[in-house]
Amino acid sequence: MPPAKSLAQQLAAKQREISVAEFFERNRQILGFDNPLRALLTTVKEAVDNCLDACEEAQVLPDIKVEISKEGVDRLRVAVEDNGPGVLKREIPNVFGRLLYGSRFHANRQSRGQQGIGISAAVLYAGLTTARPAKVTSKVAEEEAAHVVELLIDTQKNLPRVVSEDLVLWDRPSGTRIELVLKAKYQRGRQSPFDYLKGTAIVNPHARFTLVEPDGTRVTYERASTEVPPVPKEVAPHPYGLELGELAYRLKATNQPTILELLQKELAGVSPRAAREILDRAGLPGKTKPAEVHGEPLEKLLAAMHEVPLVAPTSECLSPIGPMLIKRGLRNVLGEVRPEFYAPPVSRPPKVRGGFPFLVEVGLVYGGALPADQPIQLLRFANRVPLLFQQGACAVTNAVQNLDWRRYGLDQKGGQGLPSGPCLLLVHVASTKIPFTSEAKEAIAEDPEIDKEITLALQAAARHLRTHISRRTRRDLAGEKFAIILKILPKLAEKTSSLVHKPVPDLTPVITRIMDVVNVETTVAPVGDTIRAGTDVTNYTPRARVLEVFVEMPPELLPKAQHRPAPEGTDTELGRAWWTLEKLPPSGKVSIEVTFPKGTEVEASDLSWYIAGVDEAHLLGAEPLPGDWDVRLPRAVIEAAEAGLEPLPGTEEAEVDYDAAEGSARVEDDEG
């Protein structure tokens, strides 16, 4: 055993710097490369995230191609290509061959990639497992030809090593393609590139994705929207997010001559008045040179910044998906599942967490072919990127598990844990700074403020679900009752009539009295060269009604629709059309038809029917008009119109009729 004397020196002799590339090479599980399946997914994800970010910056509708092919027993070739702005030749080696190098880390705005690690990590992993260089092809608009650069990473130095360079012609204005050969394994299903692209398509409905699988299968996700989301604005940091060390650094590094100017020009949310109030509280003259503030005055300055009310951080730096596109994205990808219910998506207002704005969005889909006896499907997203691993370690999962879903109509053992039911839940967290649990960006770390927002959004969506489920239950019960009445009453009437040797009476008034509903029946079916979405509205209430019928569909469908009768009005922006049924007498029925050309992608769940003029308790098969919609006819007009309508003759005497017939039939109104 060496004496302690030499030991400190021995230890000192061993001390050395560790390159960040060496570190990650050794700890590749942190970056998401710990096994061949996950390595493939991470590679595809990092490459596609870069493509989407680049296209967004260039305001181009992304057209992204992912090709995966076999390359020996345990190797795959992965190529990912975009139509973005391209990368300048001189930047290619650093962007793809150096960890912690990038353009988005210091920009205070939402983007998928931020750390300057992702794609270089894939290059590192490929080199490590196959010793094959990455091949990057990139063309910028201003040059004629594309550059092809082959490179490896020198892990000891964390620097790119260019193996070859070339020029090629490429038949697109601009774009980037990266090709890697790596130890990897392809498999469809959970946590696969297939799954990842599906999720990505949901939250990026403006992008088009093509996946070519190793067996040659080609999967395409077409875009469901042609709007490029606006580039989130880069904003100055907000004082609420500053900590002492960071403030001290800013004071040293600034070019502003005075502390007053620094406050106003380099920080967000500080008005001239607020700036002066901050300095007053801190006891600092406005002309103080920033570099001179340290020690106690520095602490006072920060405290004052946190005390004085400031304008909240703006959310221009965020890029939410928005309720409409969440719904459209879900529909686009969930077509084959034909869910019975899409809850109105919830998009919470932006909040601030340590000076960094964030917001939460939730989509919820229920029923259809979603499995009823399994845990719900939870789709987690951060800055429009699906999170496929580490579900158990994620703040989103935690928030879902801590909500008592039994109150909202789902099964959940003990009111804790993932609920069960035919339900799919989409949760999107957007922020300029997502607190991921590791560099692989697979789970969001616990944070009380993010947790609160997720919970509020979940509750809002869950309330819609509860309303839907209770309505459906009510409708199902009423529907059953209706079916029974329509089946039994005529037989009873027939039998009774034949016993007393009287003619069978008209049953409509009786049915009307028993049911007391406006019944709406909707069908969507191909008819000849068209797809016909028809709605029959029957007034099974004992008095005449003035009703308004509304239909809502995805706005792009409306121009293709033929209506009969012609609607009273349409709103092309919101995808709505409406009709007024002036006088619908008891037992009266009106049909409204909406017809689409053959081949139109439309199905029952695309059309939502709403009825105004009858309260929810007397409405079957459609929803009452949502509270925030305009009722075209004011309530007073409807009431006045209805007041002028006499009850249908016979509806008052329906029961008397039967009594007169001496029938013994006694129909219970109560179903039990």
In the range 459-488, which residues lie near a second copy by CB under 8 A? Answer: none
Considering beta carbons, is residue 435 or 542 the nearer one to a second copy? 435
374 binds a second copy, rule: CB under 8 A: no
Secondary structure (3-state) at 84: coil
Instruction: Give the span between the Cα atoms of 119 and 439, in whole angstroms.
Output: 12
163 binds a second copy (CB under 8 A): no
23 contacts a second copy (rule: CB under 8 A): yes
Of the candidate spans 14-22, 328-336, 497-505, 604-612, the one that interacts with a second copy by CB under 8 A turns out to be 14-22
Is residue 1 a contact residue for a second copy (CB under 8 A)? yes
Which range binds a second copy by CB under 8 A, 264-272, 377-385, 436-444, 487-495? 436-444
Contact positions with a second copy (CB under 8 A) in 31-50: 34-35
- For 227, counting Cβ atoms within 10 Å of its Cβ (0-12 exposed, 13-18 middle, 19+ buried), the class is exposed
d(CA 475, CA 9): 82
Distance CA 306, CA 308 (A): 6
User: Structure tokens of 586?
Assistant: 């008891």
CA distance 579 to 140: 53
Tell me which stretch binds a second copy (CB under 8 A): 431-439, 452-460, 547-555, 581-589. Answer: 431-439
Check binding of 145 to a second copy (CB under 8 A).
Answer: no
Binding to a second copy, residues 80-139 (CB under 8 A): 85-88, 90-91, 94-95, 98, 100-107, 115-116, 127-131
3 versus 559: smaller Cβ distance to a second copy:
3
CA distances, 672 to each of 477, 481, 621 (Å): 10, 10, 21
SS3 318: coil
Q: How far is the CB of 104 from a second copy (least distance, A)?
A: 8
The closest alpha carbon to 397, from 367, 430, 419, 415, belongs to 419
The span of 444-452, 542-550, 576-584, 643-651 binding a second copy (CB under 8 A) equals 444-452
Contact between 572 and a second copy by CB under 8 A: the answer reads no
Cis bond upstream, residue 205 (ω within 30): no
How would you class 473 by CB atoms within 10 Å of its CB: exposed for 0-12, middle for 13-18, buried for 19 or more? exposed
Within residues 387-406, the interface with a second copy by CB under 8 A covers 390, 392-393
Residue 15 within binding range of a second copy, rule CB under 8 A: yes
Give min distance, CB of 173 to a second copy, in A: 7
Task: Indicate whether 451 belongs to the interface with a second copy (CB under 8 A).
Answer: no
Give CA–CA dist 387/270, Å, rounded.
36
Q: Which is nearer to a second copy, 380 or 513 (CB)?
A: 380
- Distance separating alpha carbons of residues 606 and 591, to the nearest angstrom: 19
Quote the tokens at residue 249. 């650094």
Residues 410-429 that bind a second copy (CB under 8 A): 413
**216 backbone dihedrals φ, ψ, rounded to 5°:** 95, -10
The amino acid sitting at 218 is: R
Under the binding rule (CB under 8 A), the answer on residue 161 touching a second copy is no
CB-based contacts of 632, cutoff 8 Å, min separation 6: 548, 568, 569, 578, 580, 612
Please count the residues of this chain forming the interface with a second copy, following the rule CB under 8 A: 85
Closest CA to 469 of 366, 323, 617, 335: 366
Stretch binding a second copy (CB under 8 A), from 18-26, 278-286, 522-530, 620-628: 18-26
Interaction of residue 667 with a second copy, rule CB under 8 A: no
Site for a second copy in 601-620 (CB under 8 A): none
Token pair of 315, please? 């959310």
Site membership for a second copy, residue 433 (CB under 8 A):
yes
| Alpha-helix residue ranges (DSSP H) falling in 516-632 | none
- 634: preceding bond cis by omega (within 30 degrees): no
Does 377 participate in binding a second copy (rule CB under 8 A)? no
Interface with a second copy, residue 164, by CB under 8 A: no
Nearer to a second copy, 212 or 393 (CB): 393
Q: Please, what is the minimum distance in Å from the beta carbon of residue 455 to a second copy?
A: 18
The answer to whether 559 contacts a second copy (rule: CB under 8 A) is: no
Q: How far is the CB of 225 from a second copy (least distance, A)?
A: 18
For residues 432 and 519, which CB has a smaller minimum distance to a second copy in the complex? 432
Q: Does 173 bind a second copy (CB under 8 A)?
A: yes
Sole binder of a second copy in the list 142, 529, 573, 646 (CB under 8 A): 142
User: Which one among 184, 298, 365, 561 touches a second copy, defined by CB under 8 A?
Assistant: 298
Over the Cα atoms of the chain, what is R_g?
32
Least CB distance to a second copy at residue 383 (A): 14
Per the DSSP assignment, residues forming a β-bridge with 420 are 375, 411
Considering only residues 220-259, where is the footprint of a second copy by CB under 8 A?
A: 243-246, 248-249
SS3 82: strand
Per CB under 8 A, the list member of 37, 140, 469, 631 interacting with a second copy is: 140
Nearer to a second copy, 15 or 668 (CB): 15
Q: Spell out where 306-445 has E strands.
A: 341-342, 346-347, 351-353, 356-366, 377-382, 385-387, 423-431
**452 binding a second copy? (CB under 8 A):** no
Cβ atoms of 67 and 164 closer than 8 Å: no
Sign of CA dihedral 578, 580, 586, 587: negative
Q: Is 435 in the site for a second copy (CB under 8 A)?
A: yes
497 touching a second copy, by CB under 8 A: no
